[in-house]
Amino acid sequence: VLSFFVPKSLAGRRVLITAGPTFEAIDPVRGITNLSSGRMGYAVARAARQAGAAVTLVSGPVGFPVPQGVDRINVRSALDMHAAVMARAAQSDIFIAVAAVADYRVANAAEHKLKKDHGGVPAIELIENPDILAEVAALPDGPFCVGFAAESRNLEDYAQAKRRKKNIPLIAGNLIQDGFGGDDNRLVLFDDNGSHPLTPASKEVLARQLIEHVVKLTGKQ
């Protein structure tokens, strides 16, 4: 059939994706993390791969196996994720930041396990982590950047404000009560043309629609 000869929509393109939470150590056995199953990011990686892209997935700690045909780099902290992404961003055509990156890390992480009988209640001092997406978006000749915004309210206002602040062409927004941990989600895509609500569906289906929207905005090559 004719469709056999139609090239896949992302053939020849390199897509870099972050997924999952990050984990910021307090001591060797304790830490601060975000609630994120990694499901949406892994679905986006699979969708990009199915569209023919060469996919690199920089993944925080999640329970999923490597998606078929995807190159996965496992990281733990936001600083690890930042380093893995910045080493690859310039060679990528598209960057999709799905990870729930911890905004802060522990400044005074302990080398050894904290003990209750040493000095009372420990004080945890936090310092800000780098904004990976904003940094990639600021690269000269950098990849086409896509962000995610999980909000508990005011989705459109917060998502569009984030898109402008990070200077990225596309952000996918969802309300956390719609998506967290589950198989399904409700996504709204925000770009220069306004908002595009997608029909509520499985994360797999939504990921494919997101990829098709990226293809539309970046044009065929």
Q: Rounded to the nearest 5°, which phi and psi values hold at 168? A: -120, 150
| Closest to Ca ion by CB, 8 or 165 | 165
The DSSP code for 103 is: S
20 near ligand CTP, rule: CB under 6 A: no
Q: What is each CA distance from 188 to 13, 97, 153, 199, in whole angstroms? A: 25, 16, 13, 9
Q: Which entry of ligand CTP, Ca ion, none binds 53, CB below 5 to 8 A by partner kind?
A: none
Could you tell me which residues are beta bridge partners of residue 103? Answer: none
To the question of whether residue 141 is assigned a binding role by annotation, the answer is no
**In this structure, how many other beta carbons lie within 10 angstroms of the beta carbon of residue 142?**
15
CB of 115 to ligand CTP, least distance (A): 31
CB of 145 to ligand CTP, least distance (A): 9
Site residues (CB under 6 A) for ligand CTP, limited to 55-114: 78, 97, 99, 101, 103
To the question of whether residue 131 is assigned a binding role by annotation, the answer is yes
Between CA 82 and CA 113 the distance in angstroms is 26
To the question of whether residue 4 is assigned a binding role by annotation, the answer is no
* Sign of the torsion formed by the C-alpha atoms of 52, 190, 83 and 21: negative
149 near ligand CTP, rule: CB under 6 A: yes
Examine the residue annotation and report whether 34 is marked as an active-site residue of this protein. Answer: yes
| Closest to Ca ion by CB, 21 or 67 | 21
103 near Ca ion, rule: CB under 5 A: yes
The DSSP code for 8 is: P
What the block records as the tokens of 117 is 């009988």
| Closest to Ca ion by CB, 64 or 158 | 158
CB of 133 to ligand CTP, least distance (A): 3
| Closest to ligand CTP by CB, 86 or 110 | 86
Amino acid at 180: F
147 near ligand CTP, rule: CB under 6 A: yes
To the question of whether residue 220 is assigned a binding role by annotation, the answer is no
Q: Which entry of ligand CTP, Ca ion, none binds 131, CB below 5 to 8 A by partner kind?
A: ligand CTP
Closest Cα partner for 54 from 93, 4, 99? 93
- CA 138, 218, 49: angle at the middle one, nearest 5? 95
Tally the C-alpha atoms within 13 A of residue 202's C-alpha that lie toward its C-beta: 7
Q: Is the distance from CB of 168 to CB of 145 less than 8 angstroms?
A: yes
The site for ligand CTP (CB under 6 A) is made up of 18, 78, 97, 99, 101, 103, 129, 131-133, 147-150, 162
Active site residues: 34
Annotated binding site for CTP: 103, 113, 130-133, 148, 162, 166
